[in-house]
Amino acid sequence: MKPRLLVTGGAGFLGKHLLQRALEFTATGTLHRTAAMAIPSVMFHVCDLQQPQDVRILLDRVKPDIIIHTACSDQSGDLAAITSAAGLLAQQSAERHIHLIHLSTDQVFDGTAAPYAEASAPCPIHPYGEAKTQAEALVRSLNPDAAIVRTSLLYDLHSPDRQTIRLIEATASIAPCALFIDEWRSPIWVENFADCLLELATKDLSGLLHIAGPQALNRWELGMELLEHFGTPATPNIQPGTIQESGLIRPPNLTLDSSCAQHLLHTPLLSLRTAREQVTR
Ligand SMILES: NC(=O)c1ccc[n+]([C@@H]2O[C@H](COP(=O)([O-])OP(=O)(O)OC[C@H]3O[C@@H](n4cnc5c(N)ncnc54)[C@H](OP(=O)(O)O)[C@@H]3O)[C@@H](O)[C@H]2O)c1
């Protein structure tokens, strides 16, 4: 019998990819504001993961062996949901002996001491990073057997992700658009990352793990390469810029060290170039 996998945030960017690729599992996804979704062989449950009763009913019905908790990102505008949903799922999964994989982010760091390994101390500098750091701490205290996976920017190569859509839209306007050359990340192809998480779901690992792309890229390099990938010529209004010029407060270098994951997982971590070669082959 296939293990039962519950993916929270089943209509989200990562959740959808996970559910589409979870062929080795009996998979269920959660929906919140999304009215309906259809993925072959996948069941969906509508619930608010901030509500204890909703979480109890969900787990009673699905009886998962594994939960991959992707729901509650920075997109909904409700940062409180990040900690409350993580706390409820951590508590309920511990009580029911369900293996929990909780999704976190490179934004728990301040960007001044990269590369960041699992042993690096979190030091967030904005509310989203703060909420994700609190969620990590809650998960660790309520369910010490949970795995906490930090990742970097997720991009897609089959259809443009949210940020790439905005960049492509910018090529159709004359409004200036700066891509930072001093903001470094370890971006990873969402399909490659989903495969890593699904492999991780077959292992009983606990604690922190960094899973991100093997190559640090700045925002300018990433944006230019994704525009090229989607066949959209860059326009003169899109220019390299710096965080300092923008006046924004952002972590400058969030490069993640994923060497532990590279040793633990058979799934290789692909650079953008290698991922593009796979897609266009
Ligand atoms: N995307 C990235 O580049 C990136 C980078 C680093 C880390 N991460 C982490 O990876 C995870 C997934 O990110 P993502 O980009 O896939 O997120 P996303 O596309 O914004 O999806 C988040 C999902 O959470 C659901 N949700 C929000 N509030 C909820 C609630 N109260 N109860 C139940 N569900 C709720 C939403 O469901 P509905 O749509 O149905 O309302 C949404 O589909 C997050 O933990 C994020 O912090 C993402």
Query: Per-residue pLDDT for 123 more than 90?
Result: yes
**pLDDT-derived band at 27, boundaries 50, 70, 90:** very high
pTM: 0.98
Residue 130: burial class (beta carbons within 10 Å; 0-12, 13-18, 19+) = middle
In degrees and rounded to multiples of 5, residue 4 shows phi and psi of: -90, 120
Please give the C-alpha separations between residue 105 and each of 80, 82, 118, 169, in angstroms, as whole numbers. 16, 12, 12, 26
What's the rounded mean pLDDT across residues 157-163?
Answer: 96
> Ligand 1 centroid vs 72 CA: distance in angstroms?
4
> Ligand 1 centroid vs 62 CA: distance in angstroms?
20
Q: Is the dihedral of CA 114, 118, 124, 129 positive or negative?
A: positive
Per-residue model confidence (pLDDT) at position 77: 84
Mutate to test the pocket of ligand 1, among 49, 56, 73 (most ligand atoms within 8 A of CB): 73
Domains and CATH numbers, the chain: 4-154+188-210 (3.40.50.720), 157-185+215-254+271-280 (3.90.25.10)
Return d(Cα 28, Cα 81) in angstroms, integer.
21
Per-residue model confidence (pLDDT) at position 192: 98
Per-residue model confidence (pLDDT) at position 281: 84
| Token couple for 130 | 């703060």
Which amino acid, 96? R
Ligand 1 first shell, C-beta below 6 A = 9, 11-15, 30-34, 48-50, 70-73, 75-76, 81, 85, 103, 105, 151, 153-154
| Token couple for 266 | 């058979």
Average pLDDT, the chain: 97
Query: Per-residue pLDDT for 76 more than 90?
Result: no
**pLDDT-derived band at 35, boundaries 50, 70, 90:** confident
Q: Are strands 184-185 and 4-8 parallel, antiparallel or unpaired?
A: unpaired
Return d(Cα 189, Cα 17) in angstroms, integer.
11
